[in-house]
């Protein structure tokens, strides 16, 4: 099956798709393992460039987006996706080691729908995602 | 009368011409004695012209019967010719004295010539020369010279009269002779006193002018030194060097030294020296210390082997910052020199103090920069620790709850999870601490419903070792505080972790209640308690309680409670603790209530909200 077909199949089944973007493989692994036992389908990208490409191609329901990445950073990814009508519907949750109140304000100003800080409890992240996607 | 007027005028001119005892260009002060001699010299020159003129008038008016007048004129002309040749070849001093004496001697010769030549006329105007003689002596050499000169004049007068008696058969009136002598003397004394008074005034004026100019020059030099050397130098060593250099140059001392008072010990330490010539009066540290302790003005001491040493305290706003000492082989310095030393010490003190403050400022700047770097470093470290911690904490949690994992793995993962949660809290504290150090902490204010919040905090801490001892006492479920939930979570996890750690047994009870306009949260344990002497200090950063040392294997960072206090205060609350000697500790904190606490609210406050 092609990727496009997979997406269509998932959408037909009502499965919510999540895109994880983090340059740290260990963090991606934690999230992949955590979401394995949920009904969400997870995809991952390791930098801003591929995150943008993947988001435009697959149009996930929610993104867990790191901020501090080489190249295009998470804030810029967030701004670009929110500026584009085709991708502005994607819920973006920033998941970052930047914990200061000022960083949270900057993140929300960039258009993010949520802000979570590292280190995180995988269970708490799943609960947060559940809540964020409950309405849609 | 004409002669008297001429004398008066020439005297006046002489004093006027010599009015400048100070030559302006080089700033050299001409001594009083030299000035006086110059005046005498000028007087002598004028007197000579007067005598030549008087002789010519007399010869023309009264043809002499004898060759005397011609001889007198010859002597006068010869004297002047000699004077013109000799006088420039003498020193100023010798010239002045010689000129004065010669003028007087010449007057006497002139008197002899005139009186003998015209002795055939009983009432000749030539006799006027005898009035003139004592007056000239008085003007030149003072009042005391007038009486001997008057006696000489009477003697010449008498001799001429007796000569006339023998030659022309004229009578000698002794009484008239004595009377004339008395009149000569009287006029001479009057003229002498007048001249001396005028001269004294003149001298005083000259001296005052000289002093004023000298003082102006010194002040100018002092201000130059202040501007050029003191104001620009900010290195203490350079300032000290400048002060001693200035002292040597300005005061003409052979050696100058500066002792600076050390701030800690109060002792004097020699910091700079200039000149360095080995003089009889060596500058002595004990004398300097004595000066620093006592005298208000510069003091001077004469050394045994000749020479002097003078000390002035360097005062800044009433405090002695050092002592400036100068020494020389020459004469003891006058009051003016000492005043100058005082002025130099005072301005030196300002320069020294300036340099010291500048140094302190620089040090504090460096410390401040270092402190900033430290805070930034802590912030960066805290940030960098988060990413690896994410993986550890996340994977530990997943492993601990993974059904496929063996019980051993699950237990191990649970321990890993607890440890990484402690570590996460420490990382949070570190960052918060750095934020407060840098002063850029931002807290949110949003309504936090106390009961569920505390439930969450207790549940979070329950995973720590001994966490089963935690208990939340039920309170008003509708109580809402105005706080930053993230920060408050940090505060609570610190307080609960502390209680679990330092109270090894017994329940740990969390209570909350409304208290007027604030919400109060308490964490009580049944541990050993905190001594009264330590209670205030536990909130200090980096302070680690004595009880910490007693708990094996404990490593406290000493920032936990400091962070708690700073965070609660940033949210508009307060912290405190009570620990009775019997044991047990209650940590409490207050937060602003978001809605009036039910039952205790003041109606006016309720209306306002």
ipTM for the predicted complex comes to 0.86
pLDDT in tens, B235-251: 888 888 888 888 888 88
- Whether B396 and B416 have beta carbons less than 8 Å apart is answered as yes
Task: Write phi, then psi, for B250 (nearest 5 degrees).
Answer: -75, -35
Using a 10 angstrom Cβ sphere, with 0-12 exposed, 13-18 middle and 19 or more buried, the burial of residue B388 is middle
pLDDT in tens, B256-299: 888 888 878 878 888 888 876 665 456 777 777 777 667 677 77
Residue B314: strand, helix, or coil: strand
How many CB atoms neighbour CB B571 within 10 A?
A: 22
Give the minimum alpha-carbon distance from B390 to chain A in angstroms, rounded to a whole number: 4
Residue partners of B4: CB distance under 8 A and separation at least 6: B131, B132, B135
Q: Do B386 and A101 touch (CB under 8 A)?
A: no
Per-residue DSSP letter, A96:
E
Which residue of chain B comes nearest to A23, CA vs CA?
B387
| pLDDT winner (highest mean) among B76-85, B105-114, B568-577 | B568-577
* Residue B424: pLDDT over 80: yes
Q: Which of B71, B148, B153 lies closest to B113 in space, CA to CA? A: B71
Residue partners of A15: CB distance under 8 A and separation at least 6: A39, A40, A41
What is the maximal distance between C-alpha atoms in chain A?
Answer: 45
pLDDT at position B19? 35
How many CB atoms neighbour CB B581 within 10 A?
A: 7
Confidence label for B207 from pLDDT (cuts 50, 70 and 90): confident
Q: Which of B175, B197, B206, B104 lies closest to B146 in space, CA to CA? A: B104
Cα separation, B608 vs B149, in Å, equals 115
pLDDT at position A66? 94
Least confident of A126-130, B57-61, B165-169, B454-458: B57-61
B386 closest CB neighbour out of A30, A34, A119: A119
Q: Do A102 and B442 touch (CB under 8 A)?
A: yes
Helical H runs in B87-123?
92-117
Give the minimum alpha-carbon distance from A2 to chain B in angstroms, rounded to a whole number: 31
How many CB atoms neighbour CB A47 within 10 A?
A: 17
Which residue of chain B comes nearest to A69, CA vs CA?
B387
DSSP-assigned beta bridge partners for residue B574: B590
- Whether A61 and A91 have beta carbons less than 8 Å apart is answered as yes
Q: Do A122 and B484 touch (CB under 8 A)?
A: no
pLDDT in tens, B442-465: 788 889 999 999 999 998 888 888
Residue ranges of chain A whose CB lies within 8 Å of a chain B CB: 24, 26-27, 29-31, 33-34, 97-102, 117-123
Q: Do A26 and B391 touch (CB under 8 A)?
A: yes
Residue B387 near chain A (CB below 8 Å): yes
Which of A22, A97, A125 is the best mutation test for B, with the most CBs of B within 10 A? A97
B555 or B405, higher pLDDT: B405
A48 or B139, higher pLDDT: A48
* Strand order, beta sheet including B308-316: B268-274, B255-261, B319-328, B308-316, B299-302
pLDDT at position B374? 79
A101 closest CB neighbour out of B384, B401, B443: B443
- Whether A113 and A132 have beta carbons less than 8 Å apart is answered as yes
Omega before residue B247 within 30° of 0, cis: no
pLDDT at position B591? 94
Q: Do A33 and B484 touch (CB under 8 A)?
A: no
Which tokens belong to A64?
């867990």
Which residue of chain B comes nearest to A98, CA vs CA?
B383
Per-residue DSSP letter, B572:
T
Q: Do A97 and B386 touch (CB under 8 A)?
A: yes
Q: How many cross-chain Cβ pairs, A to B, lie less than 8 Å apart?
A: 69
Residue partners of A128: CB distance under 8 A and separation at least 6: A93, A114, A116
Which of B382, B398, B436 is the best mutation test for A, with the most CBs of A within 10 A? B398
pTM: 0.50
Which residue of chain B comes nearest to A124, CA vs CA?
B394
- Whether B292 and B303 have beta carbons less than 8 Å apart is answered as no
Q: Which of B196, B172, B176 lies closest to B184 in space, CA to CA? A: B176
A101 chain-B contacts, CB cut-off 8 A: 442-444, 484
- Whether B585 and B530 have beta carbons less than 8 Å apart is answered as yes
How many CB atoms neighbour CB B311 within 10 A?
A: 27
Cα separation, A64 vs B196, in Å, equals 112
Residue B444 near chain A (CB below 8 Å): yes
- Whether B330 and B318 have beta carbons less than 8 Å apart is answered as no
Rg from Cα positions in chain B = 52
């Amino acid at each position: 099956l092609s990727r496009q077909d997979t997406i269509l199949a998932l959408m037909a089944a009502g499965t919510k798709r999540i895109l994880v973007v983090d340059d740290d493989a260990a963090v991606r692994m934690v999230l992949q393992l955590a979401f394995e036992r949920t009904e969400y389908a997870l995809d991952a990208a390791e930098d801003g460039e591929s995150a943008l490409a993947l988001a435009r191609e697959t149009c996930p329901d929610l993104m867990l987006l790191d901020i501090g990445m080489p190249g295009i950073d998470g804030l810029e990814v967030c701004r670009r996706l929110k500026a584009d009508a085709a991708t502005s519907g994607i819920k973006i949750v920033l998941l970052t080691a930047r914990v200061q109140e000022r960083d949270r304000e900057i993140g929300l100003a960039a258009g993010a729908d949520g802000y979570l800080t590292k280190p995180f409890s995988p269970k708490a992240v799943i609960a947060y995602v559940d809540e964020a996607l409950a309405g849609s | 009368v004409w002669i008297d007027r001429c004398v008066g005028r020439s005297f006046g001119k002489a004093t006027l011409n010599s009015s400048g005892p100070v030559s302006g260009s080089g700033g050299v002060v001409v001594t009083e004695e030299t000035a006086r001699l110059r005046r005498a010299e000028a007087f002598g020159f004028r007197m000579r012209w007067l005598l030549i003129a008087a002789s010519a008038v007399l010869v023309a008016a009264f043809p002499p019967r004898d060759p005397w007048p011609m001889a007198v004129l010859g002597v006068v002309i010869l004297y002047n010719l000699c004077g013109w040749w000799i006088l420039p070849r003498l020193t100023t001093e010798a010239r002045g004295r010689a000129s004065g004496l010669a003028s007087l001697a010449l007057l006497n010769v002139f008197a002899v010539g005139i009186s003998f030549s015209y002795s055939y006329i009983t009432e000749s105007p030539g006799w006027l020369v005898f009035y003139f003689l004592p007056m000239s002596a008085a003007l030149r050499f003072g009042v005391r010279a007038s009486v001997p000169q008057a006696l000489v004049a009477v003697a010449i007068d008498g001799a001429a009269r007796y000569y006339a008696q023998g030659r022309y058969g004229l009578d000698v009136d002794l009484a008239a002779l004595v009377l004339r002598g008395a009149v000569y003397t009287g006029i001479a004394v009057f003229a002498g006193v007048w001249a001396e008074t005028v001269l004294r005034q003149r001298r005083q004026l000259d001296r005052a002018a000289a002093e004023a100019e000298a003082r102006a020059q010194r002040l100018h030099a002092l201000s130059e030194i202040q501007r050029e050397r003191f104001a620009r130098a900010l290195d203490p060593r350079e300032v000290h060097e400048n002060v001693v250099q200035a002292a040597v140059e300005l005061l003409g001392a052979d050696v100058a030294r500066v002792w600076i008072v050390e701030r800690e010990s109060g002792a004097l330490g020699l910091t700079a020296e200039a000149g360095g010539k080995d003089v009889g009066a060596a500058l002595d540290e004990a004398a300097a210390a004595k000066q620093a302790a006592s005298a208000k003005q510069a003091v001077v001491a004469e050394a045994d082997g000749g020479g002097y040493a003078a000390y002035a305290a360097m005062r800044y706003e009433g405090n002695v910052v050092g002592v400036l000492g100068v020494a020389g082989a020459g004469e003891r310095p006058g009051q003016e020199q000492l005043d100058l030393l005082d002025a130099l010490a005072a301005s030196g003190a300002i320069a020294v103090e300036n340099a010291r403050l500048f140094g302190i400022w620089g040090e504090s700047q460096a410390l401040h920069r270092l402190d900033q770097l430290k805070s930034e470093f802590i912030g960066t470290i805290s940030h960098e620790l988060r990413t690896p911690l994410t993986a550890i904490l996340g994977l530990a949690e997943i492993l601990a709850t993974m059904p496929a994992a063996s019980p051993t793995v699950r237990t191990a993962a649970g321990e890993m999870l607890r440890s990484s949660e402690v570590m996460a809290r420490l990382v949070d504290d570190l960052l918060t601490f750095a934020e407060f150090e840098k002063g850029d902490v931002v807290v949110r204010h949003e309504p936090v419903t106390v009961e569920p919040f505390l439930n969450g905090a207790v549940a979070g801490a329950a995973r720590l070792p001994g966490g089963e001892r935690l208990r939340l006492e039920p309170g008003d479920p509708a109580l809402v505080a105005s706080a930053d939930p993230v920060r408050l979570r940090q505060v609570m996890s610190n307080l609960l972790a502390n209680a679990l750690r330092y109270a090894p047994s017994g329940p740990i009870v969390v209570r909350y209640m409304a208290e007027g306009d604030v919400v109060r949260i308490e964490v009580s344990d049944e541990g050993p308690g905190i001594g009264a002497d330590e209670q205030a200090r536990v909130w200090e950063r980096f302070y680690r309680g004595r009880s910490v040392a007693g708990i094996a294997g404990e490593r406290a960072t000493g920032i936990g409670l400091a962070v708690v206090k700073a965070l609660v205060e940033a949210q508009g609350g307060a912290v405190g603790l009570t620990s009775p000697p019997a044991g047990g500790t209650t940590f409490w904190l207050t937060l602003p209530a978001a809605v009036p606490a039910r039952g205790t609210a003041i109606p006016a406050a309720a209306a306002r909200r």
